[in-house]
Amino acid sequence: MTADPHVARSSFRRDGETNTRDACAPRSFASARFQVAASILLSITLGCSAVGAGAGATPERKQKELEEAVANAANSPSADLTKLQCGNLVYAGNKSSICFADKFLTDVAKATNLNVGKHFVPVKLEADHVFDFPFCVWSGEESFNLTKKERENLRKYLLNGGFILSSPGCSDPNWDTALRKEMKLVFPEHKLVKLPMSHPAFSTVNRIGRLTDKKGAQAYIEGMEVNGRLVMVYSKDGLNDVANAKGCCCCGGNMIMESVLVNVNVFTYALLY
């Protein structure tokens, strides 16, 4: 199906815990509020070969240098009010979603009438800039701990209209454990639960009847609702589409094979519901 470009989520607030979203509010995507300049994006979409070009640099080292470049770009995001943008959360120092491909944004633009920015925009979870993005991806590898400010912003962000798509790089169990710990600390009253395949997130654009992991087994994704609104989608296996993640040196772990289709649906769903 083609998403209706005249119906979408309205803005959300950062100064309280009341959802101010008007689900029926019309919106022109030519004047969308949540944007960041393309100039920053171009500086972080280089592959491993363009980062850490010194002789002997390992793929892992190149990925670390790209993560540092993303973290630096998150220090000064600027606004471009002509496109819907997707934030790439930078958190716990300089951790970010290097191994999460932004290809699904191009697919959203092709499959719908939404005026979508085609690259992730780095944004720090602890910064006020995070509230300029209605949708963010959150990924990474290894264990982590959020700061007090990051936890406060995460709660405000999701309670007031924001949406997060998340999964660990390489199906990393340590990152999965850390993510679940942080969500329990930030939202003790809410839980991640398995989403049934009848959920609209599986049919908003692409009809998906089954999720399959890299080994061919049936997979699932989880979601968290707040006041009846889905605010987060999470997969412990991975929705990262690493084959299209520039600069990522990860094998993809046990990633869900329908990840691109899921991500297209989730992004569109988050804007329409």
- Walk me through the domains of the chain, giving residue ranges and CATH numbers: 29-272 (3.40.50.12140)
| pLDDT value of residue 97 | 77
Residues 73, 59, 46, 128, Cα dihedral to 10°: -20
Cα–Cα dist 105/112, whole Å = 11
Cα within 13 Å of Cα(69), Cβ side = 20
Per-residue model confidence as pLDDT tens digits over 128-139: 999 999 999 999
Per-residue model confidence as pLDDT tens digits over 151-179: 999 999 999 999 999 999 999 999 999 99
